[in-house]
Amino acid sequence: MFLITFGDDWTLGSGVWYKPGMPKIVYENKEPHYDDSWRIIVRDYLGCQDNHINFATSQSSNQRQFALAKDYFNSKKFYDKRRDEIIVLWGLTTTRRDYKWCSDSRKYEDIIFKEKYLDRNNKDKLGYGLNKWSHHDDVATKELETEIVHWNIFFKALGIKNYWFDSFNSKKYTIRPSNFFDIRSKNRDLLSLLCIDHAMNKREYYEGWAGGPMNYALNNRIVNPHTFVPKKEGHEVIAKYIIEKIS
């Protein structure tokens, strides 16, 4: 078995090293390690300790992941693999990000869409422009759907098993691919999974759902307060969920 993962911080396992009460300065200066992340737990469950490639990166856009996938599946590295042994787990992030090569840094950058104009660098300026003039949720979701179906066809023809999931927001898809975790559920993303798990299992919760899953997660300390990503216990819940889905 060979495990390939795509996604953002939620797949990479950013912040899994957070401990309750850890000050921001300590948290940010900790050497990143992902051993407690769901990705590594799933990897070990599948017996892929030496057979795992991760493309998920911090603050990644979906566009970055599609570009990395194109390059990898075009590469010789991939040609040497036995395709029927590959599992692809692909986490989809918010559509409010893009991925472009920027002429000031002379490298590819993930562009975060912003309401406020910042003059610091090209990626901020682009983030403002794309948000103001171009981004539309429905259009971006439609484009994402096209990519999902395109890659599903590609993987199916190659004999590769692949699965999709929403990372921290559930998008309003109009398609229902069978390999998308809980596609029919309104709250199918991993953040909602953690919130629902918390609400079901803990008697004392701080607030209801009115403020949305992220507020619920913050108020109930489900995600870390510095970068809003799951803690170690959250990763365990996610790992259990994913293992159940792919088994």
Partner 1 sequence: MTKTKKTLLITLGCSWTFGEGAGCEKGMNAKEYEKIRYSSEYAWEFGWRRYVVEHFDVDHVNLGESGSSNLKQFHYAKNYFLSSKFANEYKSYEHIIVLWGLTTLRRTFMYFKDSKMYENIYLEEGNVFQTRWNTSRDKMTKAIYRYCYDDDVALRELQSDMLHWNQYFKLYPKIKNFWYDIFGSKDYTTKIRNLIDGDKPKRDLLYRICKDHLNSEIEKWKLDIYGLESREKYDPNFLDKYSTCFGYAGEHELVNPHSFHPYKTGYKFIGDYFIKFLTPHIENGL
Which range, of 9-17, 48-56, 136-144, 220-228, touches partner 1 by CB under 8 A?
A: 136-144
Kindly tell me which residue out of 26, 28, 33, 74 binds partner 1, with binding defined by CB under 8 A: 74
Q: 106 or 203, CB closer to partner 1? A: 106
- Asked whether position 81 contacts partner 1 by CB under 8 A, the answer is no
- Asked whether position 219 contacts partner 1 by CB under 8 A, the answer is no
* Amino acid sitting at position 110: D
Q: 45 or 78, CB closer to partner 1? A: 78
Question: Which DSSP category does 32 fall into?
Answer: P
Q: 109 or 189, CB closer to partner 1? A: 109
Judge contact between 167 and 181, C-beta under 8 A.
Answer: no
Residues that bind partner 1 (rule: CB under 8 A) add up to a total of 31
Q: How far is the CB of 89 from partner 1 (least distance, A)?
A: 20
DSSP β-bridge partners for residue 98:
111
- Token pair, residue 110, equals 């993930």
- Asked whether position 26 contacts partner 1 by CB under 8 A, the answer is no
Question: For 153, how many CA atoms within 13 A lie in the half-sphere containing its CB?
Answer: 5
Question: For 194, how many CA atoms within 13 A lie in the half-sphere containing its CB?
Answer: 33
Nearest alpha carbon to residue 166 among 2, 37, 17, 6: 6
Kindly tell me which residue out of 67, 183, 214, 243 binds partner 1, with binding defined by CB under 8 A: 67
CA angle 202, 208, 209 (to 5 degrees): 115
Which helix or strand (DSSP H or E) is residue 24 part of?
Answer: helix 24-29
Torsion over CA of 57, 59, 62 and 68, rounded to 10 degrees? -30
Q: 26 or 149, CB closer to partner 1? A: 149
- Asked whether position 77 contacts partner 1 by CB under 8 A, the answer is no
- Residues at the site binding partner 1, with contacts judged by CB under 8 A: 67, 70-71, 73-74, 100-104, 122-123, 125-126, 129-130, 132-136, 139, 143, 146-147, 149-150, 153-154, 157-158
